[in-house]
Structure 1
Amino acid sequence: MTTHQHRTPRARRSRRAAAVGAALSATLALAGCAGPADADAPVTLTYWMWDANQVPGYQQCATDFEAANPDVLINIEQYGWDDYWTQLTARMVAESAPDVFVDHAQQFGKYASFDQILDVEDRVEESGLDLEQYQPGLVDLWRGPEGGLYGLPKDWDSVGLFFNADLVAEAGYTPEDLWELEWNPQDGGTFEQFLARLTVDENGVRGDEPGFDKDRVAVHGMGYNESGGGFGQVQWASFALSNGWTYADRNPWPTELAYEDPALAEAITWYRSLVEKGYMPPLAVATSGIGTIESMGSGSYASLIEGAWNARAMSELQGVDIGTAPTPIGPSGHRASVYNGLSDAIYAGTPHPDEAWRWVEYLATPECQDVVAQQARVFPAITTASEKAVAAFEEIGVDADAFAVHVREGTGVLPPVTGRWAEVQSIMQPAMDSVLSFRSDPDSLAAADERVDRLFAADS
């Protein structure tokens, strides 16, 4: 993980912000010393986000908000994913965090546990904001361990099967066929047959044909980026979850996680067998530095489990036609996906809590989320805006129903929310790396689970 703090270009400040800053500087220069602040000057709120692709949509929301709230200016700052959390944690410690920031379910527990996020439940009740307008379950992600509400739902995501349409057609499949694929941990079902057919060695022999050389593969049937640690959202989670496994005894704020469950070991055993058979690359190749999207673009991966947040990037790959389908149906009788969400959170130490609340409240309205929907980048949290996003994706050729099916059929599973997640990953990442690289057996996850459960026992 990169730890250097490279700052990406800041989103443009409003012209009014620049004008106000210039006017204040001129006034102070004339006075010859620092004078009292202008009581009528607008309050500037800093808003942090990590996805550069979403900045234009939220800049439009900021412009619309400023027009209706001339006493508040919004300064959007964007950082890359790794830098974002490094910078945010450092700024929390220094008590100089942004007024409002985009929060993630895996990070939320840590900040909530240290009282670094403002509880907005009373403000929600006073405003009359309708929490029923959001997709099911998303509000629950932001409940504190002792109650309270520490953010408003921003968007949601699930995962699907991205595929190279030309390679799939050459293998004899139609896009409709992919909606019917099933898997099981015994022989992999029709999904493994699909992956075998898509896999091609350097001599042009397919994975389901005699003479296939699993050690000299030109096109892997399915790719992945890393082992997935204890989360596995775009790796093994869809298979484990559709095999009857779930992350924890309860969510949010579990008292123990379930990495010792045989249903997980069974799913992981099958998943890594795809590496043994040559249908997926070895872990060392998957983590070699060549990204999964680039590998799809080059044709070295024929398919990929990936998140909806990358749907547009996939659709914009040059020289390759990428399609989408849902994850396969598992032994439980249904397909499954992690059903994640983001929120807009207010830093507890902001000097402008009232103005920050106004901005967060606006971000949670149909007016803003409809703007975001039209960008076809993510699925906004409000149900009606989600539907508009599906239509916007369809307009650019992305079958967004491959992701929405999990919401419609209730097969999405919320990610575990705990203040211990960083510590969980410090145990589960090397444990899963060891299993996927064949240094340990899947049964070894039970020993890792004992260490994880001791973390939670310390809290009881």
Structure 2
Amino acid sequence: MLRRITRRTVLSSLAAAGLLTTAAACSPSGGSGSGSGSGGDGTASDAGGSTGGDQGTLTFRLWDQNAVPAYEESFAAFTEASGWNVSIDVVPWADYWTQLPLDIASGDAADVYWLNSANYVQLKDSDALLDINEVIPDGAAQWEPSVVELYTRDGGLWGVPQIWDSIALFYNAALLEEAGVDPSALAFDPAAATDSLRDAARALTLDGAGLHPGEDGFDPDTRAQFGFNSQADRQAIIGPMLAANGAEWQSEDQYTFASPEGIAAFQYMADLINVENVAPSAADTNENGDFTRDLFTQGKLGLFQSGPYNLLAISEGVADSFEWALAAPIAGPAGPKSLVHGVVAAGNAQADESQQQGIAELLTWLGSKEGQLPLAEKGVSFPGHVEAQDAFISFWEGKGVDVSVFVEAAKNAAEADTGARANAGLTAAIPIFQEVFIGRLTAEEGIPQAQEEGNAAMAG
């Protein structure tokens, strides 16, 4: 009999796990988007900006303090060129999506503000956003195509791409060499008895006695080293592996992931945890989305599929402990797939007429190579302008890391979340995903339920 999850006791962990919204990882700090700009009180903070202009002051809002120094540098050049000052306002992620609609309704929204893919449709439908195609004609050709596509709807483009991320495979070079694993040759196939991912993950997993899964006496409760980070992570694991198995995430504004291909992919991901014993327990990863990242930096995880939002944390956490590098995301029957998310700068269509010229000038600057170079040169994230991306690549080359694999991965994009109530859909579906990953529901039981409840939530 189908067991239905009616209580949402795990919802309190979703923010900590970085799973509650689709573009949290696009925050330069990654994860759930920290409130580092709130001054500790959960409210907006004035984070600086630029001064000295004589045209007036524009306001710019974002949710991540880590990006502020780059924007301060960018806006100083903008003020010198345009005469417009820019005041930067940081609202922490935990409050951002509740505060923004309130400010829009009261007329207090910033002139330009960061926006993610799960929230823009509702604002666009309420006529809160400027159509960038009208503000910057032919501007889209300058920007990362996957992000442009993500924010294109009903013939309009509803934000200027600022930063973006895709998915690749971080690997511990020493562990892989010892286990004889080639990171460029990894693939999975739920229909096969085994595959190169399962074989590699078993070779990389060790219990306290040095035994591998499948060997006599292997004790999963004493595991000291793990193979792969299979977990209920929508962006790094679920999205890419569903698409790589030929499953569709959604059609228009309706989830369609409960197809045979989708159910098989979900069961495969859960079995890596509960049957193969090559991934950490979902009891740990459901509660803490950074659990596997921390295992990787400690040298206890061989393969970690994730995005550039974890580059700084891994670089700083590993330091000189071991050599690590990047490879393409794990391929499936449909090839390797990467979920691409992006953050855009949205123009406030309801701002005073006296501000609209300045808003147009600021959006144009934010879409330019010059306007985005500080984001790249300070290592914040991949910039939206394609000609500024080399600067981000160069930043990481200076640290001995080739991040161009993320650019290649973005060319094979899986479906991201869109729709007026995408966050509501995910809030309903993800706890059920977590039940599948922890093994309390099979994919055949849980995934159709997640689709049904997610679609009901998106329908309002």
Partner of 1:313, secondary structure, is helix
- Paired with 1:215 and 1:183, the residues of 2 have a C-alpha distance of 25
Once the two structures are superposed, residues 153-202 of structure 1 have per-residue CA deviations (whole angstroms, 9 ceiling, x without a partner) of 223211111123333333334xxx20121111134511111111111212
The Cα of 1:9 is off from its aligned counterpart by 5.9
Q: Which amino acid aligns with 1:179?
A: S
The Cα of 1:208 is off from its aligned counterpart by 5.6
For structure 1, which runs of at least 5 residues remain unmatched after alignment? 18-40
- Paired with 2:169 and 2:246, the residues of 1 have a C-alpha distance of 20
Q: Which amino acid aligns with 1:285?
A: D
The answer (yes or no) to whether the contact 1:198–1:221 under 8 Å persists in 2 is: yes
The Cα of 1:414 is off from its aligned counterpart by 4.1
The answer on 1:353 being equivalent to 2:356 is: yes
Task: Provide the residue aligned with 1:206 in structure 2.
Answer: 212
- Paired with 1:53 and 1:330, the residues of 2 have a C-alpha distance of 35
The Cα of 1:266 is off from its aligned counterpart by 0.4
Task: Provide the residue aligned with 2:132 in structure 1.
Answer: 120
The answer (yes or no) to whether the contact 2:51–2:76 under 8 Å persists in 1 is: no
- Paired with 1:428 and 1:118, the residues of 2 have a C-alpha distance of 31
- The match for 2:256 among 250, 255, 258 is 258
After superposition, where does 1:129-168 map in structure 2 within 5 Å?
129-144=138-153, 146-168=154-176
Task: Provide the residue aligned with 1:311 in structure 2.
Answer: 311
Q: Which amino acid aligns with 2:245?
A: N
The answer (yes or no) to whether the contact 1:219–1:300 under 8 Å persists in 2 is: yes
Task: Provide the residue aligned with 2:185 in structure 1.
Answer: 180
Q: Which amino acid aligns with 2:448?
A: A
- The match for 1:192 among 182, 195, 198 is 198
The answer on 1:394 being equivalent to 2:397 is: yes
Aligned pair in 2 of structure 1 residues 271, 290: CA closer, same or farther (>3 Å)?
Answer: closer
Q: Which amino acid aligns with 2:342?
A: G
Once the two structures are superposed, residues 297-344 of structure 1 have per-residue CA deviations (whole angstroms, 9 ceiling, x without a partner) of 223433322112222332222353332211122112x21111222211
Percent of aligned pairs sharing the same letter: 24
Aligned pair in 2 of structure 1 residues 147, 405: CA closer, same or farther (>3 Å)?
Answer: closer
Partner of 1:74, secondary structure, is strand
Partner of 1:169, secondary structure, is helix
- Paired with 1:80 and 1:281, the residues of 2 have a C-alpha distance of 30
Task: Provide the residue aligned with 1:298 in structure 2.
Answer: 298
The answer (yes or no) to whether the contact 2:329–2:409 under 8 Å persists in 1 is: no
Partner of 2:156, secondary structure, is coil
The answer on 1:67 being equivalent to 2:104 is: no
Q: Which amino acid aligns with 1:96?
A: D
The Cα of 1:289 is off from its aligned counterpart by 4.1
The answer (yes or no) to whether the contact 1:14–1:73 under 8 Å persists in 2 is: yes
- Paired with 1:301 and 1:433, the residues of 2 have a C-alpha distance of 21
Aligned pair in 2 of structure 1 residues 92, 294: CA closer, same or farther (>3 Å)?
Answer: farther
The Cα of 1:421 is off from its aligned counterpart by 0.5
The answer (yes or no) to whether the contact 1:236–1:268 under 8 Å persists in 2 is: yes
Partner of 1:357, secondary structure, is helix
The Cα of 1:77 is off from its aligned counterpart by 2.5
The answer on 1:406 being equivalent to 2:405 is: no
Partner of 2:236, secondary structure, is coil
The Cα of 1:139 is off from its aligned counterpart by 1.9
Q: Which moved more, 1:295-304 or 1:322-331?
A: 295-304
- The match for 1:94 among 89, 106, 114 is 106
Q: Which amino acid aligns with 1:149?
A: L
Aligned pair in 2 of structure 1 residues 391, 319: CA closer, same or farther (>3 Å)?
Answer: closer
Task: Provide the residue aligned with 1:11 in structure 2.
Answer: 47
Q: Which amino acid aligns with 2:104?
A: M
Task: Provide the residue aligned with 1:22 in structure 2.
Answer: none
The Cα of 1:376 is off from its aligned counterpart by 2.7
Task: Provide the residue aligned with 2:5 in structure 1.
Answer: none
- Paired with 1:287 and 1:248, the residues of 2 have a C-alpha distance of 23
The answer on 1:47 being equivalent to 2:60 is: yes
Aligned pair in 2 of structure 1 residues 181, 223: CA closer, same or farther (>3 Å)?
Answer: closer
The structure that has the greater radius of gyration is 1
- Paired with 1:378 and 1:343, the residues of 2 have a C-alpha distance of 13
- Paired with 1:395 and 1:167, the residues of 2 have a C-alpha distance of 24
- The match for 2:89 among 77, 85, 89 is 77
The Cα of 1:44 is off from its aligned counterpart by 1.6
Aligned pair in 2 of structure 1 residues 418, 188: CA closer, same or farther (>3 Å)?
Answer: farther
- The match for 1:363 among 362, 366, 369 is 366
Once the two structures are superposed, residues 329-378 of structure 1 have per-residue CA deviations (whole angstroms, 9 ceiling, x without a partner) of 2112x211112222110123322222112111101001122332222332
The Cα of 1:442 is off from its aligned counterpart by 0.6
Aligned pair in 2 of structure 1 residues 163, 437: CA closer, same or farther (>3 Å)?
Answer: same
Aligned pair in 2 of structure 1 residues 406, 44: CA closer, same or farther (>3 Å)?
Answer: same
Aligned pair in 2 of structure 1 residues 357, 15: CA closer, same or farther (>3 Å)?
Answer: closer
Partner of 2:177, secondary structure, is helix
The answer (yes or no) to whether the contact 1:256–1:453 under 8 Å persists in 2 is: yes
Partner of 1:376, secondary structure, is coil
Once the two structures are superposed, residues 215-267 of structure 1 have per-residue CA deviations (whole angstroms, 9 ceiling, x without a partner) of 2212222236x623xxx111222111111112122xxxx14221221111101
